[in-house]
Structure 1
Amino acid sequence: LNLFLTRCIPGTGTVTAPPTSTVSSTTTKSTSTVSTPPPVVTGFVKTNGQKFELNGADYTLVGLNSYWVGLMNLSPAAMVSAFGDMAAAGATTSRTWAFDEVTSDPGIAYYQIWNGATPTVNTGANGLENFDNVVAAAKANGIRLIVTLTNNWSDYGGSDVYVTQILGAGQPHDFFYSNAKVVAAYKNYVETFVKRYVNEPTILAWELMNEPRCAGSSSSASANCTPATITSWATEMSAFIKSIDSNHLVSVGDEGFFNLPGNANFLYAGGMGVDNVALTAIDTIDFGTFHMYPFSWAQTADPLGFGDDWIANHTVLVQKAFNKPVILEEFGVLESQLDQVTAYSEWYNDVITDGLAGDLIWQAGSTSVTNANDGDMVFPGTSVYTLVTQHAAALKKRG
């Protein structure tokens, strides 16, 4: 999800707001690390055909996004509480962000600082040691993590910081995927992060980017960016991760757009530079991803029906076609847009009956955190949270 900025819907000439609001980045500062709890997570999650597998048995991938756990300066205890809420709801998995690009020390958590064109990964107490706490807290609750390594959008820096710092202001967004110096800098960050956790089974997967597209929050695409550009980059980056880490799965993190030029619906026409079919087909990509935001994407005439079709198409055209798991990795609506219980009940039922491998709602709320609420946060004790719990049980029963 693009947390902060409005999005222009192609072909409409209008700007629509995503179903989110500005996210605060201040809480109690954490300066200590949490001691490693007794391990309750053993073995690495793998894939077997269209399913996930753990230690020879089916692994049900179900849960909630929690981008904020390593970015809000939470204490280790608050992190444990946050993942505890998810575990109590029956979640097995959470997706979280492992990036924050800065050009000056903000005095709070960040993961990489830039001095001109030179980046330095923050391995200190408010850097990778902070992410150690995230991993430990998830592990203490038996939660596996999908770890996203950068962002298409400007939230917490993102890929445009690489392009601007190395190549200068005003360069096309998609140079992140194609410029050799930029790619090398990203590989350096990825390598530092991945090698730190190569033997940690709490990590379920490394994810290349949150929602890659040819264009970003404020930077446009070059005339040369096509779906082949991002597919080539994903092929290179996923192979790079596999070369240094054979334990963990790798996913792209794309929104699931199709590449059918001439299609009347821009989500299917390839104009975003994304080809979910080609991305999922990459040998070094272990499972496919797609997101679903009917209102942000101007699918307002029949948002429920759009969701039904979007889930079915990714199940049939991608998961079953390539015999790989595919997950609905982000989805959400605001209560002001559509009754959430009605919408989520229908889409959860689609996941189960269509046979999709798993899903992660956007996003988890917690009894210990309120200031990461973007409007879609699901808090314990609410009717939507109860629905999440019921769905987790149903998906585990389906297998």
Structure 2
Amino acid sequence: MTHLLRRLGTLLAGSGLVAGLVLGLGVPTPASAAPGAPRAAASRFVTRVGTALQLDGKPFRFSGPNMYWTGLDENVGGIDPSAKPTVDYPSFFRIRDGLVTAKAMGSTVVRAHTVGISTGSPLSLEPSLGRFNPKAFATMDYTVAEAHRLGLRLIVPLTDNYRYYHGGRFDFLTWLGLSTANDGALFYTDPDARAAYQQYVRTLLTHVNIYTGVRYDQDPTIMAWELGNELNGMTADWVQDNATFVKRLAPHQLVAAGRQSGVDPAVLASSAVDISDSHYYPPNAATISADAARVTAAGKVYLAGEYGSPSASTDLLDQVAADRHVSGALFWSLFPHADHYGYVQHDDGFTLHYPGDTTAMRAEVDAIAEFAHQLSGSPTPRVFGDPPLITAISKNAGVNTVSWRGTAGADGYRVQRSVLDGGWKTVSGSTPVTDDDTPWIDVHSVAVRSSYRVQALDRNGSVVATSTARTVTARQRVSVDPLADWYLTSAHSSSLQRVPTAHGVLVAPQAGRSGQLSYHVPGLTSAVIDFAGAHRPRPVIALEQAGTSRWHQVYSQVRSVGSGRWRLTLTGLRGVDGLRISWPASGASFAVTSVAWTDVTEVPTAAPGSFAVTAPAPGQTGVSTLAGLQWSSAGQAAFYTLTASTHSDLSDPLVSVDGLRATAYRPSTPWPADTTLYVGVTAHNGVGTTAATGSPITFHTRPATPGVLVDDFDSYADDAAVAAAYPANSGGDPITASLGPAGEDVGHSLVLSYGSGSNGYAGVIHTLPAAQHWSGTSGLRMWVKPGFAGQQLNVQFVASGSYWEKSVTLSDTTARVITIPFSAFAPPPWADPNAKLDLSSVTQLSLYPSESGSSDTIAIDSISATP
């Protein structure tokens, strides 16, 4: 990438496109300040004075996120958020968006694992012993450069205790043919393992950042190097030797170390360690205070390097902020907007998006932002990222559907439409829509030429940025490729590389090489290609003739649209199935910055076809109060509306929703018990509407369950739905949740199938759709059918932020109902032993059917908190 950076830096110098140019290197800085973002470059080192940190002679206390994914990410999918995630380098947009989001939350420090931990896979910095992959530095360098621009500091772990996708200490043992027994204890005692680790550390710390020209070990942006993430087995000798090694390489930066929980005596004993790092799941103010006092009494700086974001509350964080022994606390973990629409998703139960997907998450975000203010003494900055970018306006059975890439720091969005070039009208309603609402259906679409734009709003409802408008006709759709990834392209040359700028990315081939970028678009009608270059670009543009594989070169004027910016427009295309942009090997002094196109799509000629509600069955009785609604698909339907009421005319509805794209709906609160309900479902498209056969249908719910019904497993459509609701604990052995025959009453049970593995336990974690109030109940009741005699079942729940568990042994395989008194539950060994049981807010239930490495199944049904 260095050749491309230098080439484009030379080409664009003076053009105004790339903000700032390191002239001595010919390397462009990654980006100018994002809209609304102050220039707050981190140019001075954070220092340690005794048990506290200082910056410019003033106390430095901090809040921030863990963003482990910025160098190498396990969550890279396609443009469809439901696509199975894969391991790959994150896009420059994701990195920038995540860091700007952290800044918008008042963060001043980010813990970034894969800026430092990158071993053992083909994409890693060190794929195999002694072999280094310079391509891996691109995202690592960009993270450091963007953090520098935003005034953020980084804590960078150097290896990991576990066998995660990004690598860790076991890689060194495997490479050297050393035993991994005793939890890899040889990593801390074998001299060859220590030498291999230090070789990796030296390579990383002495690397020169391609965007800043500064060596890592000389960059104040990197506040501290952490010897590793949660290294539970460190010896005093290993800590001292490696902390001293890092200090020699990076004398102006700090050294941190810590283990999974508690305080490591080896860390406190080392004269070369500055910061002791402890982790909390869940966090508890008393435990944090005790650990902080122990660390500072030993003369070290104390850091809560991880705490689970679902536990973030004003009550907890006010106490932590008031403890002057605490220098900082970092939540787990922050994820950014995805490259095309929505957010990057992760399933560990601790994912946080800004400003919050749910009411509970919004409260967490607010508590963390206030915590940051208390620690730093500065107000939360008004910071926003890139303007919203409309990435597609698709035709869904004749109805316009708008997708956009979100804006870091925005609190919501307003979608506006202009019909036949008239004035702009807000069509998304009075309540701001969110990134979780994309793709957004315009339920009042009109079959004429319409333009759309998206406005990002702050918490006061004021507009902070507006997208470029995009236009479609009655039979057209539009797509925009921001070039963050290759998912929209049909083919591209391996020579093409990206350089990040303030306006997105520059895509061009390496110096002296040709390149092509192709799109397969049947029915292509127009295209707009944006370029960057100091001189007028001369691309080779070709179109693919429909129904053939023949390409024909076309000629169109490239016009200037600003300093260093150029645009080529193709209109009135017919009989075209593809677009290709080519760079000749010589004289290719330009880059592509965006590609947008329109194409013709089919639209319906009649209203949606007939369909019927399938569950609950019309007239069914004894229906679960947690039951979802399902219906068959109506042909050519764009979306559905649903109304549920206790009245036959559907007046005074309990539920009234529109824009439903799925053929299922699950209420956020239970249906009233022992009640007849009336449900009407209507299918819509661009031509008309069709009501479900027999609409409204009726069903009658079961009598109320004594106490609080937690789950009866009768509301899940299939195995995939229950597996999504009960994901496996990522640190345990293999386990799968599926639906089985009813255990009690009617419907289904939950079947857990698990296998043996090295961790010795398997379990699923269920986050309740809404917090439940179990106060006034005395125990947890459930139907169980063991898979074998003597099977153990560990039941765990989170109440008011504290963990509680009880393990029961099932003597034989007879199906039975068991009740576990709440008085029998106790905090797990790793949790706060002094926690008080408060059942007023229960948020999570976990089931662990194995603690001995066995393989089998267990069936569970009708879980309730019972009087």
Q: TM (normalized to structure 1)?
A: 0.72
Would you tell me which structure has more helix in proportion to its own residues? 1
Deviation at 1:169, TM superposition (A): 5.4
The separation in 2 between residues aligned to 1:388 and 1:43, in whole angstroms, is 25
The separation in 2 between residues aligned to 1:37 and 1:139, in whole angstroms, is 11
Deviation at 1:256, TM superposition (A): 4.3
Task: Report the secondary structure of 1:113's partner residue.
Answer: coil
What letter matches 1:204 in structure 2? M
The separation in 2 between residues aligned to 1:34 and 1:330, in whole angstroms, is 34
Structure 2 residue corresponding to 1:348, chosen from 314, 317, 329: 317
Contact kept? 1:102, 1:157, Cα under 8 Å: yes
Deviation at 1:243, TM superposition (A): 1.3
Q: Which has the higher contact order (CA 8 A, sep 6+)?
A: 1
Structure 1 residue corresponding to 2:131, chosen from 75, 100, 120: 120
Task: Report the secondary structure of 2:65's partner residue.
Answer: strand
Deviation at 1:323, TM superposition (A): 3.4
Contact kept? 1:330, 1:359, Cα under 8 Å: yes
The separation in 2 between residues aligned to 1:396 and 1:150, in whole angstroms, is 29
Contact kept? 2:90, 2:139, Cα under 8 Å: no
Deviation at 1:34, TM superposition (A): 7.2
Contact kept? 1:52, 1:61, Cα under 8 Å: no
- Map 1:206-245 to 2 at 5 A: 206-214=225-233, 230-245=235-250
Contact kept? 2:69, 2:90, Cα under 8 Å: no
- Map 1:239-318 to 2 at 5 A: 239-258=244-263, 276-294=264-282, 307-318=284-295
Contact kept? 1:208, 1:237, Cα under 8 Å: yes
Contact kept? 2:317, 2:367, Cα under 8 Å: no
Farther-moved stretch of structure 1 (244-253 vs 349-358) = 349-358
- Map 1:22-61 to 2 at 5 A: 35-37=29-31, 40-61=41-62
The separation in 1 between residues aligned to 2:43 and 2:137, in whole angstroms, is 22
Farther-moved stretch of structure 1 (243-252 vs 52-61) = 52-61
Q: Percent identity between the aligned chains?
A: 25
State the number of aligned residues.
Answer: 308
The separation in 2 between residues aligned to 1:333 and 1:393, in whole angstroms, is 17
Contact kept? 1:101, 1:158, Cα under 8 Å: yes
Farther-moved stretch of structure 1 (325-334 vs 157-166) = 325-334
Q: TM (normalized to structure 2)?
A: 0.34
Select the structure of larger CA radius of gyration. Answer: 2
The separation in 2 between residues aligned to 1:189 and 1:68, in whole angstroms, is 19
What letter matches 1:55 in structure 2? D
Q: Which runs of 5+ in 1 are unaligned?
A: 1-32, 215-228, 259-275, 295-303, 335-339
Structure 2 counterpart of 1:86: 102
Deviation at 1:80, TM superposition (A): 1.2
The separation in 2 between residues aligned to 1:377 and 1:34, in whole angstroms, is 33
What letter matches 2:127 in structure 1? I
Contact kept? 1:44, 1:248, Cα under 8 Å: yes
Structure 1 counterpart of 2:167: 157
The separation in 1 between residues aligned to 2:286 and 2:241, in whole angstroms, is 31
1:388 aligns with 2:363: no
The separation in 2 between residues aligned to 1:310 and 1:85, in whole angstroms, is 29
Going from structure 1 to structure 2, the CA distance change for 1:163 and 1:249 (only over 3 Å counts) comes to same
Deviation at 1:364, TM superposition (A): 1.3
Contact kept? 1:365, 1:379, Cα under 8 Å: yes
Task: Report the secondary structure of 1:392's partner residue.
Answer: helix
Deviation at 1:143, TM superposition (A): 1.0
Structure 2 residue corresponding to 1:142, chosen from 145, 151, 175: 151
Task: Report the secondary structure of 2:130's partner residue.
Answer: strand
1:200 aligns with 2:169: no
The separation in 1 between residues aligned to 2:354 and 2:180, in whole angstroms, is 44
Structure 2 residue corresponding to 1:180, chosen from 191, 204, 215: 191
Would you tell me which structure has more strand in proportion to its own residues? 2
Farther-moved stretch of structure 1 (54-63 vs 150-159) = 54-63
Structure 1 counterpart of 2:345: 371
- Map 1:64-75 to 2 at 5 A: 64-72=65-73, 73-75=89-91
Residues 299-321 of structure 1 show CA distances to partners (whole Å, capped at 9, x for unaligned) of xxxxx7xx1221121122222x0
The separation in 1 between residues aligned to 2:111 and 2:181, in whole angstroms, is 30
Task: Report the secondary structure of 2:206's partner residue.
Answer: helix
The separation in 1 between residues aligned to 2:152 and 2:347, in whole angstroms, is 21
Structure 2 counterpart of 1:95: 111
Deviation at 1:168, TM superposition (A): 4.2
Going from structure 1 to structure 2, the CA distance change for 1:170 and 1:211 (only over 3 Å counts) comes to closer
The separation in 2 between residues aligned to 1:102 and 1:278, in whole angstroms, is 27
What letter matches 2:321 in structure 1? I
What letter matches 1:71 in structure 2? L
